[in-house]
Structure 1
Amino acid sequence: MKRISPLAISLTLASISPTAFAEEGADAGTLPAINVSAEANRADAYRARTSGIAGFGETPLLDTPASVSVITEAQLKDQQARLLSDVIKNDASIGENYAPVGYYENISVRGFPLDLASGYRINGLSAVGEQNIALENKEQVEIIKGLAGLQGGVLNAGGLVNYVTKRPADVRSVMLGTDSNGSRYLSTDLGVLFGDHQQFGLRVNAAHEDINSYVDYSNGYRDFASLAASWDISTKARLAFNIEYQKKAQKSVAGYQLLGGTTVPSGVSPTTMLSPQPWAQPVRIDSLNFNTRLDLEFNADWRGYITAGRSRAVIDDYLAFPYGSNSATVFSPTFAANGDYDVYDYRSPDDTRRNDEAQAVVQGKFNMGSVRHDVTLGVTMSRRVVDKSDGISIPVGTGNIYNPVAAPLAPSGADIPASYRNLDSRQQAILLTDRVQFGEHWEVLAGGRQFWLKEKTYNLAGATTRDTDRNQFLPQLALIYKPQANMSVYSSYAETLSMGTAAAFWQTNFPTILPPSVARQLETGIKYDWNKDLSFTAAVFRMKKAYEYPQPDGAGGFKYVQQGTQTHNGLELGATGNVTRQLRLSASLAFIQARADGTGTPAYDGKQAINVPRLRSALYADYALAALPGLNLLGSWLYSGSKTATRDGSASVPSYHIFNAGLRYQTRMGGHPTIVRLTVDNVFDKRYWKDTGESLGDSYLHLGAPRLARLSVQYDF
């Protein structure tokens, strides 16, 4: 059947005049407008001043006692970002953690991988992490760096990512793009406000992408469409709705493993697909995310909202997967010393993940004598279910990393077991925060989340294999001192609960799932708006959680255990804004010491954690050429220190520098604003290992992308 692009509905909307929707006699009022043109105020386009991720309601970043990174729509466009891995290169505290080409990606923040079940959000509601969330309809991406138990409840120590969708506005824009591999890209952003008081709004974003990957045999495509709608019911009530759908199909690129479990592969190319068998199929991910929100203003001091949403992803995997090696019938979960690996017929179709969540929140302020209180009280209910087959993973032959022409292998022909309910997780919570202001200089933020978690896992026969019933209070405390209006100094304490991870199949206690554990964080920071155009931040932190790892049993086997403490100590520095009228910078630096102690395995104690460089830095610059109005030169420099690939530190990948360059040219065509963007990533074609992360108990190494040029033209009409 012919594939139909979702752009058709957008192009239909483009032909409609905004005034065509005007209604006679409408008496509804309007709330304060929140619609901003995508290219408005270019001088401040990279610098966000507020965020809703760290609390409930928009809060100035200057007054937020947490480290929050916000990447704006303008920066996403200028860097021609398509994936989360494109977004995170703006912050030195964030790195990739098992992010293969053609698959869904995960990241690590401050050295801790995010929780795919609860670490990703759209408009504050949990989204399935097993998808590539599209950026075409996103206004900004917000990232909490560190513990976020108050905001998310049960989630990993690293933090969480929140995607903020665009609101309806009078906007009409189309973008065409390509790259040096021959990819093709088309997107539209079309919106209208209508009604006598423009109390109604619609916005459609759509995109189609033909993906020509730099890795052989891994091309694919992506279709995306979204709709945002709003209704200002009165001056005190607003209803908003968002829905987005994406279909992506692309062959996944497997990572490498250590040779003999001790040696990083050398002499390999990022363009090579390991074992490109003809029967392997693209990974298909169909995702649907929608949410709705009703905002109510009760009076000048009190307001509230109710919001609910669903996120669903269906993943079909049919891979020829290179993994481990059998030498003299002795299995190893790593490649052989000579580069040999086993090829598995891996099939896991109809892998369905679904998150549902609803929140009701009331916010208000009042005075008790000379003390001011800003209070937030809320309740939330969420549910996550996983329905999938156990699939098959059957070895069908071997390959070698140094033989780019893989020998054809026959698939196993095995039947795929039926799909069943794997997980049913339900969580209820009460949220309470009180921001207490004492005079002009001192504030205390006190609050937390009391949650009740009920979670069950099942086997194919429907029998319960785990039954978790837990309730706990997760506190968050902060002291804020403002010596002057443009500076804040804070110290904070927070807790979160992380679910235990599961033993891999090659570990002696498979399929044991370790118990939940509490993570704790202390953080002290300073935020300074040097002037209206330039901000500086600094933070030091200490994070602790239980250490989970495969413990050698002395007989050649491994048992997955929770023993010892993993401690991450770090320093973060950042600067964002206009250095001069022509030069705009975004810079960050992160130093992280990530070590485990008391593990019961002396060789692992005191060693830097896998995939966590001690030092990373990121610098992005935008320089406007005075001699050529409308032309800006863009450039970035990314540095990562060496990353270990084994727990005892015996193997590591080297440090690397990556330089990117580009330009943005703003002009007019036919009287309409037009922007041409050209970027060249990895200008010097550096070969490097971007990621030594883990997935499902196994360690992988992924090569970074070679040099890639991208060109796009945005036309606003």
Structure 2
Amino acid sequence: MKRIAPLASTLMLTLAGTSLGLSATARAADVGDDKGEALPTVNVTASGTTRDGARPRSAAVAGFDDAPLLDTPASVAVVTAAQMRDQQSRLLSDVVKNDAAINENYAPVGYYENFSIRGVTLDPASAYRIDGLTVTGEQNIALENKERVEFLKGVAGLQAGVSSAGGIVNYVTKRPADVRSITLGTDSYGSRYLATDLGVLFGEQKQFGLRINAAHEDIHSYVDHGDGWRDFASLSATWALSSKTLVQFDAEYQQKAQHSVAGYQLLGGTTLPSGVSPKTMLTPQSWAQPVRDSSLNYRLRVDTEFNADWRGYVQAGRSRAVIDDYLAFPYGSGSFASTTFGANGDFDVYDYRVPNDERRNDEAQAVMIGKFATGWLQHELTLGLAMSRRTVDKPDGISVLVGEGNIYTGTPELAPATDVPGPAYRNLDSRQKALFFSDRLQFSERWQAIAGGRQVWLNEQAFGADGSTTRTTSRNLFLPQLALIFKPLQNLLVYGSYAETLTLGSAAPFWVSNFPTTLPPSVARQLETGVKWDVSPDLALTAALFRIRKAYEYQQPDSSASGFTYVQQGRQTNTGIELGASGKLSPRLAVGASVAATRARASDTGTAAYDGQQVVNVPRLRSSVYADYALPGVEGLNLMGNWLYSSSKPATRDGSVSLPAVHVFNAGLRYRMRMGGHTATLRANIDNLFDKRYWKDAGQYLGDGYVHLGAPRTARLSLQYDF
């Protein structure tokens, strides 16, 4: 595919914005532009962010509309656009470091990322959302047009139906506002970054709104031969048809091409590699191409207010991602005889090609929200229906052994394979229908309950290259969600909740006896109790205890020809406690802190060596602390710091190999000043301040285990100019 915009094209969007007649009273981006403006003729719920670094107050991820965090009986984390700008976040991996319960789970440089929440890996098919609608998780969703990123931690059967038990991630887009901004950036490896944010409200009553975000990035990776580029553009539009009806449209398009950086495998299956550098590409080959990922996400939403008590909305959207993989991939040692590197660091090199890998999510929702009374009992009722479809079209691809390399001595130039991938075909057609409801019952000023659920009809078919049906899955079930709420004070919430979700079974890897079996769906359940306390208008404290139970899926050692069979046997139980604080400790000091202790154990697996072991890639303890301090005596200058800690986490199912514990420190500053009569903000950040060498991720992908090195010390610099 052709690139949509070089660096100069992004700059031209900025220049074009000056001719649109945008308001000269545009607000500075760091004092609320991402909040958007409610059109004065329409009752629109305000966004969840607050000004000047104060804590977010609401989120939509735990339900079907914005709701105050204090009144939400669930664990929700929110990272605002202001914090993402201050940390110069480009990827979701930059965002999740703000919450201890969220962990990278196979997130290599140059490839689309995945994560785990509460020790459960997220499902790319259903766990990622933009404004409440599912999007394909096989993309790195751009942050330039996002007002905030919301994380619902734990089971989300009511919200998502068929989904991972770990939770869901919801990106909230910026709404139109009078704003003009340009940002220039670079880093210590020579990357170049340019982004624009242009918005306008117009019409006699400001009933129309437009906002354009665009960005271009020349990526100079810290990994040798790992460079790439990214282009992004988005449009957000609103139209207030009347004082009671609002139409919103959003579209975003992104192209990214970057050489993917493969992870390491254990040496001989028993030892972590040592003496290796995060700057090393294991398999640099002249014929290897960057991974190309093109994505298009768009949605249309209509909100209407029927009367003072009832309102509703309908929305529909499509998300499409196309991935082209052309890799020289290091895997195993000994021509498929092993799924790990050799004990001496040897590995096999494969010419791996899967072009035109297309994933598409379509979804439509209709939701009614209202309040009424039955005698002394007050109700806040949400009713809705949803329909969604996910399709996967891709070729089988090729994976051909072309030579060998070694992690210490390198990889010679090898000849590529002569095989050619076949044509793409329909691999999967998954359809869901759902009816859902949630009723908040208020018994008194102190006692409330929420009763709800989702009736799901799932029909899924998988196909072979010849068009034959290889699997049919059909499940109809009701997923309940219940919560009891006690508010002894207006600023204090105590809750207990129960929820279920349906999780799809995973596919067997190619090296087990029952490949390509896909395991059946199973129900995951969660119990949670928590406390939320707004200590002051600007400071909130939270605590939660949870237990998640789900089916355990793994490659069971046996006497079959391959030595393993992929099974769903036993149970994975994740039990944990999470503590959090966010907001301002003083007028000058803003903080965000979280601690997560997680005991994730397998039981009754049929393999004694795995029973009672901590689950792979789940640390028992993680913490994250972020601070932003406004220096006295220097107006506009803020110092920022971030401390991340992870205890050791297993890299093998039997717990014989673990990634060591690690502390990582990040630092930065923000300086707001006046330039040419306008606000400008200079940001400087140093990630991994002490240049710590560490293993960040032991996530599994397609049944194989990999370990990834953390990034070395990296400095970033940007200048944002609001005009």
TM-score, structure 1 length as denominator?
Answer: 0.97
Contact in 2 for aligned 1:19/1:194 (Cα 8 Å): no
Tell me the alpha carbon deviations over residues 560-587 of structure 1, each in whole angstroms, 9 at most, x when there is no partner: 0000000000000000011111111000
1:423 and 2:428 correspond: yes
With over 3 angstroms needed to count, the CA separation of the structure-2 counterparts of 1:36 and 1:677, relative to structure 1, is farther
Match of 2:473 among 468, 471, 490: 468
Cα distance in 1 between the residues matched to 2:79 and 2:513 = 44
1:446 counterpart residue number: 451
Q: Does the aligned pair in 1 maintain the 2:649–2:658 contact within 8 Å?
A: yes
Match of 1:543 among 528, 540, 548: 548
Query: Among residues 385, 388, 393, which one is paired with 2:391 in the alignment?
Result: 385
CA, structure 1 residues 95+36, in 2 after alignment: closer, same or farther (shift >3 Å)?
closer
Q: Percent identity?
A: 64
User: Which amino acid in structure 1 is aligned with residue 454 of structure 2?
Assistant: R
Secondary structure of the structure 2 residue equivalent to 1:16: coil
Is the 1:624–1:630 Cα contact (8 Å) retained in structure 2?
A: yes
Match of 1:155 among 157, 163, 171: 163
Alpha-carbon distance between aligned partners in 1 of 2:48 and 2:606, rounded to the nearest angstrom: 57
Tell me what 2:5 maps to.
4
Amino acid at match of 2:21: S
Q: TM-score, normalised by structure 2?
A: 0.96
1:90-169 matched pairs, under 5 angstroms: 90-169=98-177
Q: Encode CA deviations 1:195-233: one digit per residue, 9 max, x unaligned.
A: 000000000000000000000001000000000000011
Between the aligned partners of 1:428 and 1:51, the Cα distance in structure 2 is 25
Hey, what does 2:201 align to over in structure 1?
Answer: 193
Q: Secondary structure at the match of 2:95?
A: helix
Q: Which amino acid aligns with 1:16?
A: L
Contact 1:498 1:519 in 2 (8 A): yes
Q: Which residue of 2 aligns with 1:24?
A: none
Judge conservation of contact 1:35–1:169 (CA < 8 Å) in 2. Answer: no
Instruction: State how far apart, in whole Å, the 2-side matches of 1:636 and 1:95 are.
Output: 16
1:395 aligns with 2:405: no
Q: What aligned pairs does 1:127-526 form with structure 2 within 5 A after superposition? A: 127-326=135-334, 331-404=337-410, 406-526=411-531
1:16 to 17, 20, 25: 20
C-alpha deviation, 1:243, in angstroms: 0.2
Report the counterpart of residue 696 of structure 2 in structure 1.
690
Aligned to 1:588, what secondary structure does the other structure show?
strand
Match of 1:622 in 2: 628
Structure 2 vs 1, CA of residues 32 and 159 (structure 1 numbering), >3 Å: closer, same or farther?
A: same
Query: 1:543 & 1:524 partners in 2: Cα distance?
Result: 12
Per-residue deviation at 1:11? 3.3
Q: 1:297 to 1:2 in 2, by over 3 A?
A: closer
User: Structure 1 stretches of 5 or more lacking a match?
Assistant: 21-27
CA shift, 1:37, in A, is 13
Equivalence for 1:558:
564
Structure 2 residue corresponding to 1:638, chosen from 630, 635, 644: 644
Tell me how far 1:9 sits from its aligned partner: 3.7
- C-alpha contact 1:50 1:60 (8 A) present in aligned 2: yes
- May I ask how many residue pairs the two structures share in their alignment? 704
Instruction: Please give the secondary structure, in 1, of the residue aligned with 2:241.
Output: strand
Aligned amino acid, residue 206 of structure 2: Q
1:31 aligns with 2:42: yes
- Structure 1, residues 373-429: CA drift from partner, whole Å, max 9, x if none? 00000000000000000000011111001113x211101110211110000001000
1:657 to 663, 670, 674: 663
> Once the 2 structures are TM-superposed, how far is the Cα of residue 12 of structure 1 from its aligned partner?
1.4
Conserved in 2, the CA contact under 8 Å of 1:14 and 1:190? no
Q: Tell me the CA shift for residue 41 of structure 1.
A: 2.3
Write the distance in 2 (CA, Å) between the matches of 1:403 and 1:457: 43
Q: 1:35 to 1:185 in 2, by over 3 A?
A: farther
Conservation of the 8 A alpha-carbon contact between 2:386 and 2:433: yes
Gaps of 5+ in 2: 25-38
1:529 aligns with 2:501: no
Q: CA deviation at 1:325?
A: 1.0
Shift in CA distance, 128/309, structure 1 to aligned 2, threshold 3 Å: same
SS of match in other structure, 2:85: helix
* Native 8 Å contact 1:37 1:169 kept in 2: no
Aligned to 2:28: none
Distance 2:22 2:327 in 1: 48
1:466 and 1:342 mapped to 2: Cα distance? 32
Q: Secondary structure at the match of 1:62?
A: helix
Native 8 Å contact 1:10 1:205 kept in 2? no
1:42 maps onto 2:48 in alignment: no
Moved over 6 A (4+): 33-38
**Amino acid in the other structure paired with 1:41:** R
Whichever residue aligns with residue 260 of structure 2, its letter is S
Alpha-carbon distance in structure 2 between the residues aligned to 1:37 and 1:52? 9
Q: What's the counterpart of residue 613 of structure 2?
A: 607
Distance 1:3 1:632 in 2: 37
For the structure 1 residues 703 and 600, does the alpha-carbon distance in structure 2 shift closer, same or farther, using more than 3 Å as the test?
same
Three-state SS of the structure 2 residue aligned to 1:88 is helix
Q: Which of residues 653, 677, 682 is equivalent to 1:676?
A: 682
Q: Compare 459-468 and 552-561 and name the one that shifted more.
A: 552-561
Instruction: Report SS of the residue matched to 1:85.
Output: helix
Q: How far apart are the structure 1 equivalents of 2:711 and 2:5?
A: 30
Question: How far apart, in 2, do the equivalents of 1:341 and 1:10 lie?
Answer: 48
Q: How big is the shift at 1:29?
A: 7.5
Following the alignment from structure 2 to structure 1, what is the Cα–Cα distance between the partners of residues 270 and 558? 18
State whether residues 177 and 209 of structure 2, in contact with CA within 8 Å, keep that contact through their aligned partners in structure 1: yes
> Are 1:10 and 1:204, in contact at CA under 8 Å, matched by a contact in 2?
no
Q: Are the aligned partners of 2:570 and 2:602 in contact in 1 as well (CA < 8 Å)?
A: yes
Q: Matched residues in 2 for 1:554 and 1:259: separation?
A: 24
- Secondary structure of the residue aligned to 1:399 is strand
Shift of 1:554: 4.4
**CA-based RMSD:** 1.5
Q: Contact 1:29/1:234 (CA < 8 Å) preserved in 2?
A: no
Distance 2:523 2:314 in 1: 29
Give, as a single letter, the amino acid of the residue that structure 2 aligns with 1:4: A
Counterpart-to-counterpart distance in 2, 1:4 and 1:573: 44
